[in-house]
Amino acid sequence: MATFRPSGLREHVVAGLLRTSLRLLLKTVLHPRFPIGFQRRWLAVVARTTLIPRGIQIEAATLAGVPGEWVRRKNAEPVQSGSLLYLHGGAYCIGSATTHRSLTGRLAKFTGLPVFALNYRLAPEHPQPAALEDALAAYRALRASGPVVIAGDSAGGGLALATALALREAGDPPPAALLLLSPWADMVPPPTEPAPVPGEAMLSTAWVTACSALYLNGQPSEAAMASPLRADLRGLPPTLVQAGTDEMLHPQALALHNALQAADVASTLDITEGRWHVFQLHGGALRSADDAIHRLTRFALTALAAHRTPTQSEHETVIMGAGMSGICMAIQLQRAGQHNFVILEKQPGLGGTWWDNIYPGAHVDVPAPVYSFSFAPNPNWTRRFASAPEIQRYQQDLAERHGLLAHLRLNTRLTDAKFDVTTGHWHFTTDNGDTLRSRYFVCSTGPLSQPRWPEIPGLDSFTGQRLHSARWDASVPLGGRNVAVIGTGSTASQLIPPIAKEAGQLHVFQRTANWVLPRPDRRYGALDRALAHFPPYAMGVRWCWTQVLEWGRRGFDEGSMARKGMLKTAAMHRSRQVKTPELRQHLTPTYPLGCKRIIYSSDFFPALEKPNVELVTTGIERFTPTGIVTTDGRERPIDVLICATGFDAVHLLADVNVTGCDGQTLQQAWAKGPEAYHGITVAGFPNMFLMLGPNTATGHTSTLLYIEPEVQHAIHCMKAVKAGGHRWIAVKPEVQAAHNAALQSRLQGSVWSQCNSWYRMEGGRIVALFPGFTKEYVQAVLKPRLSDYRLT
């Protein structure tokens, strides 16, 4: 069971007002003393106060002769095949598709699926089984065109469950999933009068009992289709049961989940504390309602993905990668009025680097205020240096708030991308057989996406458990075992302290010592978070940290005051934290500060002084099936090997066959190393835009400061193509060549040329770093100089 606890003063105040309003406007009217006709009209009036999301179109229609309405996103082709059938609540006597538009509209917006809200026949005019017959007819009509998710609230939730049971009995294809919101799945009256639920805002026992009698019309309440909770539930599809704690039907939600699990159904129970019956109807006003709808969205899309078959589709833009840059590009495309795009992500979840890197202690190494987009500040950071799960939640929240899940295809790896010069379109193939066509291709995989394993003899012969920091398996036990970590870079400095606390013996293999500066981390308190909701304060904090980081860039220049200060701080930090002289000597770098990425840590050095930790500076000769042999002939037995050896930042996009003009592949164009114009566009590959491409990495600041202008550069290029009626835009080869010659000239003789690092190729060419300051890059990139491009 997953329990969610809403927080925040605004949420608390809004929830209190809504609860009071519902009690005054609905609970007093939903009572046997009022005729059903009056209740229907009154509910229709109250429903007008709910918020229907923007960007939704509603069209009256019929399915198999049953009336209802289609609810769809405007100006957006569905990325996912399938549809959603929605069955409204109202105790089988009141309610309609119209009264539930705030909810069906959000489901359509967030999933991208066409939603058919059914106006099934109501009691007392049409008692059981009229509603079930209508639901079955509509489902079968929808299922003829692809997989269907059935969703319903209250009585609609019970009806959705009964529909799935009836389909099973008839041998029909089952729904892809069931979304049951506070389902009324058992009409059998309890043996004793239940105690009133203090927080219930809508329902009463008297009203539910009266409506049940009208619907059953003399039929037994124990019947499977009236009380599906009591039926044989085996063979049903994945089901999400969602409810609040402050409602009459909360016990039924718990009982249904338990019964589904007992029947071996993949059931998920989702409970929100302090919320009333079908609180999801208040999306747009109540954050907890929106959060609950987003969880419904993820569940539905995940279930539909299991039913996917290879498809052909056409889009304006294909985005490869759902990390920070992919999310930023998608949001800005929407703001630019372009909604026909798809995001292809090879992993089962979004987040890019922050989905992959879930090793213990993973966190960002720049202050969190500069690790959120300028247009989407995050007031909810809990620490100055945010953890990986917290960053991934920020990305997930962005995707949900901007409706990006509707554009996202997870578990989809792009294998081929080929440009057609005759039409100016890119043609794509994925590993699951999908084919796509688009005008623009955005590669947002970034340089930190391909894990690099150490090239040491015998690695494949090691029979113990082997982990890479970027492909972490949390199920591998470390407690009390002999663990080896290869690498002492930024990633290793984060994972070594927590692993040192549980490993029996930890061997840390260091090739070269790294420069380590203290990390000024701290927890954010209530006052910090309250101030972060005040935009001028949040903007000021972000600007201040940006300037601090830019000052750090001056530390890479020989003779600068910043460099002298950083050198002194690093020496003091090492002297203060490393008490053993021999260990301190091994941890003293022999190359210039800044040549490799600087480590910011206040717990790395202390971890190395623990009695169960050994720093090994002798080179590794080979692996054996059970351990590591160093060049002095000593073998250390190892149970678990952890490779914190970083990423291949040189062979970018090596796992995708990208073909541009004249049949030239990207690998051929980059035979001597990757290069691009401002790291964004590549000569010979029109309408293609890289995010965080060659020579855009930084050793001192947040990558988000570079992503945002890159996205704007690409969108300006797209607009130039459309405005001029062109087929494509491509950087001129001579412009790209001159740009990269100037870059390499600046990099030669810089601090980064004075040691080996992931910034450089084997021949010494630096292909990762931008040599200047952030302001210089932003000014050069933000708006493209169209004279540097050829528009065809």
- What is the Cα–Cα distance from 690 to 658, expressed in whole angstroms? 12
- Euclidean distance between the first and the last CA atom of the chain, given in angstroms as a whole number: 57
Beta pairing class for 620-624 and 627-630: antiparallel
- Identify the active-site residue in 154, 182, 227, 372: 154
Q: In Å, what is the CA distance from 636 to each residue of 185, 330, 609, 645? A: 61, 49, 19, 19
**E-state strands within 66-225:** 66-73, 83-87, 115-118, 148-153, 177-181
What distance lies between CA 742 and its chain's CA centroid? 38
The residue among 725, 706, 729 whose CA lies nearest residue 785 is 729
Residue with tokens 């058992």: 186
Helix (H, G, I), strand (E, B) or coil at 80: coil
Counting Cα atoms < 13 Å in the Cβ hemisphere of 666 gives: 27
Helix (H, G, I), strand (E, B) or coil at 527: helix
Structure tokens at 618: 């002798």
Active site residue 154: yes
Alpha-helix residue ranges (DSSP H) falling in 625-754:
666-669, 704-723, 733-747
Contact predicate 259/233, CB 8 Å = yes
- What is the Cα–Cα distance from 415 to 433, expressed in whole angstroms? 10
Q: In Å, what is the CA distance from 699 to each residue of 368, 481, 591? A: 16, 35, 15
Contact predicate 377/397, CB 8 Å = no
Q: In Å, what is the CA distance from 737 to each residue of 442, 666, 746? A: 22, 16, 14
What distance lies between CA 160 and its chain's CA centroid? 29
Residue with tokens 């399915």: 63
- Hey, which residues are catalytic here? 154
